[in-house]
Amino acid sequence: MRLLKFIPILTILASIFVGCNDDDISYAFEGISAPTDVNAVFDITQDDTGLVSITPSATSASSFEIYFGDTDNEEATVISPGSTAEHIYQEGTYTARVVAVGATGLTSEFSQVVVVSFRAPENLVVTLDQDTVNPAIVRVSASADFATLFDVYFGDVENEEPTIIMPGETVEHTYENPGDYTVRVVARGAGAATTETTQLVTITAATDPVTLPIDFESFTINYGFTSFGNATAQVIDNPNQLDINTSARVGQLTKPTGAEVWAGTFLQLENPIDFSTNKLFRVKVFAPKSGITVKLKVENATDANIGYEVDAVNTIANEWEELEFDFSAIDTNNEYQKVVIFFDFGVAGDDSVYLFDDVTLTTNMTASIEGVWKLAPEAGALGVGPAPGDTSWFACDDACVAERACYYDDLYVFDIDGTFSNVLGDQTWIEGWQGGSDACGTPVAPYDGNNVATYTYDQAAGTLTVNGTGAYIGLPKANNQGELPNVAVPSSITYNISFIDNNTISVIVESGAGVFWQYRLIRETYSTPIEGVWKLAPEAGALGVGPAPGDTSWFACDDACVAERACYYNDLYVFSADGTFSNVLNGESWIEGWQGGSDACGTPVTPHDGSNPATYTYDQSAGTVTITGTGAYIGLAKANNQGELPNVAVPGAITYDITFHDVNTMSVIVEAGSGVFWQYRLIRL
């Protein structure tokens, strides 16, 4: 009660504050906005007096001004919330206005045509719409001559109080149970005589069979739970529309005190579950306690002895959590048609209530991000919209994909050693903010793939972070702070990533609030043995030199050497499908003395820095590959067909002998002068 006394004082203080600081109004004060949701319930007495009552309502209104609309220069009738204004009208048609006044004087209003007639209503027309998604919802509106309002009876409860609607107004009603109901609408005016009509509405039972995935959203599917062990289950409106489950409806299992340790519930599916490819169940659960065993079981439709069950333990209370159930060891010779779920298995009931949703059978994916990815060169793979999955603001269509061919060949390379590379080739799509003209052009620093970059992939969180200024996926401008150039160039970007299948990922970044850039990436595939992204095998002996092929007795980089030269072992040799070749060095490489370095990691030195354009030709019958382009090389920059730099001129091309050990391993040899064989073992990413 003490608190209540203070409220008016606080309101006055707030008003003074606002009044004294016109230039500095704080809109943080509640109630400073105008009232909303202004409405009014009208009623009329049927005694030929023309007495109409108006009960207004609104959110955040402190009073209402009523204008009945039947006199000129009318003074408002002021009433407080919850009160009813009464007024006697002569026969006629008027427009009544209801003005809701907020605490700060801001107003909102609502008008309603009021027909006052002592004649019995005529030409009553009732419109009854049944919702197409949820057939249990009906909407009723009505019109009639000489009617002030309509009483609507939906016919599903005893002693029903009618719902009053005005002409043009629609009322919605949800029936609890299937059945035939008589909807009765009574048109009323100011006189005693009424006119009425009835319509039959049939609410059909939900009879469609249950299929996977089970999301409980359908109003036509019969989620007919069979519960046991004293548990009960039903579909309810989602009481916790949070985080990973903002859907409308969920399954609910109640395990009352006294329920068996094995209490649970099941749904029978339309058909046996297809376990031929997908063997991983995911279920979203919401439990009042953590550390409970959730058991998911599948069972034969008729033989309860045929079943398979998997346990999972939840890790958090009172939050939605997606649990995984690995069914990969299931005997696929049997048929399973029931999905059974148990909560807190092994523990007797304690009145806990559990929610579950999105029972989905999916793939047991290895979910390896390692490898070479590119934007799927198809309509819709690049887009932006107000929500994940929604690219309604922009989606690159077929013509756009064709126009941006220089961009759709860009590669995103995730090396097993944690190195990330943007491999752009000579050109990519350069937007205006980069100084380009929304056209193909030379990559612009720092978004040219030349900086050191790494990545971290958190499979559980579904996030992928690329670290390094200029490293990106999809569009360089879209980062976690917003879009360039409106925000600073970030040093890392975190994307939400989900595997659609082992070779397709969805990558999303919310670049500023409510702006979701979305990319669908696919694994790069190759049509010739040499195409792809290669690197030196990071293992002893993969780099060496000797007097003959296969002999690296003069020098072979051992384990310590491999570790010392990590900046070199992540260098990439990119053989693109279009015949271009790239040295992608990821910021640093091993720089030898002849280059001005100190036999240590350092910034690449031109022309051996990957900056010059280069091409390659692969002669399968000869077993050779020729790299053409000054500064382009495989293995060691110094070793070429004439000898070793700096003793010979920088060549315009180098031819290497190559041998494939398997599709992902090749040996590359160059005789650098007579009898000096530099040898490299390369692996494909």
Question: What is the footprint of Ca ion within residues 586-605 (CB under 5 A)?
Answer: 586, 589
**Least Cβ distance, residue 233 to Ca ion (angstroms):** 14
- For Ca ion, which is the closer residue by CB, 151 or 357? 357
- For Ca ion, which is the closer residue by CB, 279 or 535? 535
Q: Mark the segment that binds Ca ion (CB under 5 A) among 12-20, 57-65, 212-220, 527-535.
A: 212-220
CA 314, chain centre distance (Å) = 23
- For Ca ion, which is the closer residue by CB, 66 or 585? 585
Residue with tokens 């399954």: 251
From candidates 216, 342, 455, 616, binder to Ca ion by CB under 5 A: 216
**Least Cβ distance, residue 638 to Ca ion (angstroms):** 17
DSSP letter at 269 equals B
567 near Ca ion (CB under 5 A): yes
- For Ca ion, which is the closer residue by CB, 510 or 588? 588
Closest CA to 97 of 72, 73, 76: 76
Task: Tell me: cis bond preceding 446? Omega within 30 of 0 counts.
Answer: yes
User: What 3-state DSSP class applies to 12?
Assistant: helix
- For Ca ion, which is the closer residue by CB, 454 or 586? 586
User: What 3-state DSSP class applies to 246?
Assistant: coil
Q: Mark the segment that binds Ca ion (CB under 5 A) among 28-36, 74-82, 164-172, 562-570.
A: 562-570
From candidates 52, 381, 585, 627, binder to Ca ion by CB under 5 A: 585
Question: What is the footprint of Ca ion within residues 343-362 (CB under 5 A)?
Answer: 357
- For Ca ion, which is the closer residue by CB, 337 or 582? 582
3-class secondary structure per residue, 526-543: CCCCCCEEEEECCCCCCE
From candidates 65, 70, 151, 215, binder to Ca ion by CB under 5 A: 215
- For Ca ion, which is the closer residue by CB, 99 or 473? 473
Q: 152 - beta bridge partners?
A: 163, 185
Residues in binding contact with Ca ion, number by CB under 5 A: 16
Residue with tokens 């209370």: 317
Q: Mark the segment that binds Ca ion (CB under 5 A) among 221-229, 348-356, 468-476, 564-572.
A: 564-572
- Is residue 544 a contact partner of residue 676, using CB atoms and an 8 Å limit? no
**Least Cβ distance, residue 426 to Ca ion (angstroms):** 7
Contacts of 28 (CB under 8 A, 6+ apart): none
Residue with tokens 């060549």: 651
**Least Cβ distance, residue 590 to Ca ion (angstroms):** 8
CA 182, chain centre distance (Å) = 44
- Is residue 233 a contact partner of residue 214, using CB atoms and an 8 Å limit? no
**Least Cβ distance, residue 592 to Ca ion (angstroms):** 14
Q: Which two tokens stand for residue 144?
A: 């009639």
Q: Mark the segment that binds Ca ion (CB under 5 A) among 131-139, 464-472, 569-577, 638-646.
A: 569-577
- For Ca ion, which is the closer residue by CB, 421 or 479? 421
Half-sphere exposure of 3 (CA within 13 A, CB side): 0
570 near Ca ion (CB under 5 A): yes
- Is residue 320 a contact partner of residue 285, using CB atoms and an 8 Å limit? yes
* Cα 392 to Cα 567: distance, rounded to the nearest angstrom: 42
- For Ca ion, which is the closer residue by CB, 87 or 535? 535
**Least Cβ distance, residue 102 to Ca ion (angstroms):** 38
From candidates 50, 167, 251, 425, binder to Ca ion by CB under 5 A: 425
- Is residue 60 a contact partner of residue 31, using CB atoms and an 8 Å limit? yes
Q: Mark the segment that binds Ca ion (CB under 5 A) among 90-98, 239-247, 277-285, 315-323.
A: 239-247
From candidates 375, 424, 497, 505, binder to Ca ion by CB under 5 A: 424
Closest CA to 258 of 350, 180, 193: 350
**Least Cβ distance, residue 250 to Ca ion (angstroms):** 5
Q: Mark the segment that binds Ca ion (CB under 5 A) among 278-286, 571-579, 611-619, 628-636.
A: 571-579
Task: Tell me: cis bond preceding 646? Omega within 30 of 0 counts.
Answer: yes
Q: Mark the segment that binds Ca ion (CB under 5 A) among 28-36, 93-101, 210-218, 379-387.
A: 210-218
- For Ca ion, which is the closer residue by CB, 252 or 428? 428
- Is residue 553 a contact partner of residue 547, using CB atoms and an 8 Å limit? yes
Contacts of 21 (CB under 8 A, 6+ apart): none
Closest CA to 182 of 164, 202, 155, 159: 155
Residue nearest to Ca ion (CB): 247
DSSP letters, 77-101, are EEE-TT--EEEEPPSEEEEEEEEEE
From candidates 247, 300, 467, 481, binder to Ca ion by CB under 5 A: 247
DSSP letter at 121 equals P
Question: What is the footprint of Ca ion within residues 392-421 (CB under 5 A)?
Answer: 406, 409-410
* Cα 369 to Cα 403: distance, rounded to the nearest angstrom: 28
Question: What is the footprint of Ca ion within residues 161-180 (CB under 5 A)?
Answer: none
**Least Cβ distance, residue 413 to Ca ion (angstroms):** 12
From candidates 60, 252, 352, 428, binder to Ca ion by CB under 5 A: 428
Q: Which helix (H) or strand (E) holds 4?
A: helix 2-20
**Least Cβ distance, residue 357 to Ca ion (angstroms):** 4
User: Which residues make up the interface to Ca ion (CB under 5 A)?
Assistant: 215-216, 247, 357, 406, 409-410, 424-425, 428, 567, 570-571, 585-586, 589
